[in-house]
Amino acid sequence: MTSYGADLLVILPELIVVGAACLLLVLEPLTPPSRKELLAWLSLGALALCIGLTGGQISVLNLRVSAFSDLVVVDGYARFWKLLLYGVTGLTILMSLPYLKAERLQLGEYYGFILLALSGMMVMVSGADLLTIYLGTELMSLSLYVMAGLKRSSPRSLEASAKYFVLGAFSSGLLLYGISLLYGVAGGTKLGAVAAAIGSRGFDDPLLLIATILLAAGFGFKLAVVPFHMWTPDVYQGAPTSVTAFMAVASKAASFAAFLRVFVEGLGGLKADWSNLFLLLCLVTLILGNLVAIVQTNIKRMLAYSSIAHAGYALIGLVAAGRGMGESGGASGLASVMLYLALYAFMTLGAFAVIGMFRKGGLEGEDIEDFAGLAKRQPLAAFLMLVFMVSLAGIPPTAGFIGKFYVFMAAVEAGLAWLAVVALIFAAISAYYYMRVVMVMYMREPDPSAGEVPQLVASPALTVVLACAVAGVILFGLFPNPLVSLALQSVLPLK
């Protein structure tokens, strides 16, 4: 037996997160409803520990450690995503504090589920075996299904949960089918074994093709890429807003992380084939996501389509990586995906934080029209929303521009200049619907007959979240270099 102690040290952050989640779930029934916030602070403490642990390894970023007979691997790539996920989870918890209070959902389990979902994401990010990655995906998805339905008084929330569960379970089935076919072809589920089998035998087996397509479809569901996006608008709209933010950012990031690892480390030998497949998906996603977003009147639905479109932009990086010539081409494509998702996290979290606490009486102001005249009532809130919208549209000097810039650069380097141009056109189209929100806030007066006008309800936790998000959007928009070099350092090698 090898030294299990060393293995446990490798997954120490996971152990901390899971331990905190279990502690939370046991303590939950014992805490009175008024003191549930203590549980949130407990989970934040656990996250802080994890950030310290993983962040402390930043000096040895690319040290590759594997554990548990190579089923788990911690390398620069995993550390990058883990740090991002900790940050996103922490901000989500902070955002949830006032949100849950306003929604009267004082559930301690909520934080437990966030932590368990996080542990699933961490397993996905550092899984080096298809089995581990699959189990991580399931752990994450299962927690999210429950979280989407936590607002049980609202039928829409329950509908979101049920829809998400049924479609998610179906997509897991596809994923698992792909994995089992791949196991049959390659004779192993470790990504290394798969890569070795493909490397030695080439891409002549139809089963391998079918397995690749099934894997792409399974991950496509999790990433909300057209044509696997059907669930996204309904779920994003129905779920509690803080959960929507968590899904839109953390679950998307983790799914992208696992997706890239599977296709680069495992199926890297087939890059010529999968890059064509993803080129198609990426085009359809850009077109449909951006065009359908224009006609939305509910802001959560609009952001759902916008998140679909953003997955399309991120896919460009992967296509570029697959097409890239030589070592550097692939690396810059993958790094651009990582950068894109990291920057996307800040603006989306910020936008959802504003929406969640934008309240009219006891209810959320979800319609875009509710934002009318916000600039006069609450200039600061309107300005923050303006920054997030500008960044989502990809206008300089914000983080959104930097993300798009690097993705498009990667596409041009890979000889896909036309794709960059198409994406640029759709980015311009997307500016229309983001700017509509801004226009409504600044140019329009609220309908006087509507009665009570919605207000952004301020609270200390919300202030922290918004400050972090705005700082991220503007600082990384002006000085992206540290993040870019971090992404470039921690990128996976694409053979």
Partner 1 sequence: MSGIELLLEYLTKYFPILLFIFVALAFGVVTLLISYLVQPKYPEPEKLSAYECGSEPFSDARMPFPVRYYIFAMLFVIFDIEVIFLYPWAVVFNDINKVSIIGLVEMLVFIALFLVAYVYAWRKGALEWD
Partner 2 sequence: MEQLFFFYFAAVIAVASVLVVALRNPIYSALSLLIMFFHVAGLYVSLRAEFLAAVQVIVYAGAILVLYLFVVMLLNLKQDDRYHRQWPVAGVVGLTLAVEAVMLTLLKGRAIPPAPANTNETVEGLGNTEALGDALYSTYLFPFEVASLILLVAMIGAIILAKKDIGGSEA
Residue 251 engages partner 2 in binding (rule: CB under 8 A): no
Q: Which does 67 bind (CB under 5 to 8 A by kind): partner 1, partner 2, none?
A: partner 2
> What's the alpha-carbon Rg for the chain, to the nearest Å?
22
Number of residues that bind partner 2 (CB under 8 A): 53
- Angle between the 399-413 and 417-443 helix axes, to the nearest 10 degrees? 170
Residue 160 engages partner 2 in binding (rule: CB under 8 A): no
- The residues pairing with 363 across neighbouring beta strands, listed in sequence order, are 360
Q: Are 332 and 409 in contact (CB under 8 A)?
A: yes
Residue 1 engages partner 1 in binding (rule: CB under 8 A): yes
CB of 5 to partner 1, least distance (A): 10
Label the pairing between strands 358-360 and 72-74.
unpaired
Q: Which does 107 bind (CB under 5 to 8 A by kind): partner 1, partner 2, none?
A: partner 2
Q: Which stretch binds partner 1 (CB under 8 A): 28-36, 159-167, 200-208, 214-222?
A: 28-36
Q: Which stretch binds partner 1 (CB under 8 A): 22-30, 173-181, 231-239, 338-346?
A: 22-30
Which of residues 9, 17, 20, 26 is near partner 1 by CB under 8 A?
26
CA 159 vs CA 153, 162, 279: distances in Å? 11, 5, 33
**What single DSSP character describes residue 364?**
E
Residue 152 engages partner 1 in binding (rule: CB under 8 A): no
Q: Is the CA virtual torsion 480, 483, 489, 493 positive or negative? A: negative
Token representation of residue 437:
């929100």
Binding-site string for partner 2 from residue 59 to residue 98, where x marks contact by CB under 8 A and - marks none: --------xxx-xx--------------------------
Select 51 or 102, whichever has its Cβ closest to partner 2.
102
d(CA 308, CA 318): 16
Residue 29 engages partner 1 in binding (rule: CB under 8 A): yes
Q: Which does 26 bind (CB under 5 to 8 A by kind): partner 2, partner 1, none?
A: partner 1
d(CA 473, CA 11): 31
Residue 152 engages partner 2 in binding (rule: CB under 8 A): yes
CB of 427 to partner 2, least distance (A): 33
Residue 200 engages partner 1 in binding (rule: CB under 8 A): no
Residue 107 engages partner 2 in binding (rule: CB under 8 A): yes
DSSP three-state, residue 397: coil
Select 112 or 218, whichever has its Cβ closest to partner 1.
112
Select 129 or 234, whichever has its Cβ closest to partner 2.
129
Token representation of residue 261:
């690892």
Select 40 or 494, whichever has its Cβ closest to partner 1.
40
d(CA 470, CA 389): 11
Around 275, how many Cα atoms within 13 Å sit in the side-chain half-sphere?
25
Residue 326 engages partner 1 in binding (rule: CB under 8 A): no
d(CA 262, CA 136): 13
**What single DSSP character describes residue 367?**
B
- E strand or H helix at 140: helix 130-148
Which of residues 146, 382, 387, 473 is near partner 2 by CB under 8 A?
146
Residue 28 engages partner 1 in binding (rule: CB under 8 A): yes
Residues at the interface with partner 1 (CB under 8 A): 1, 4, 22, 25-26, 28-30
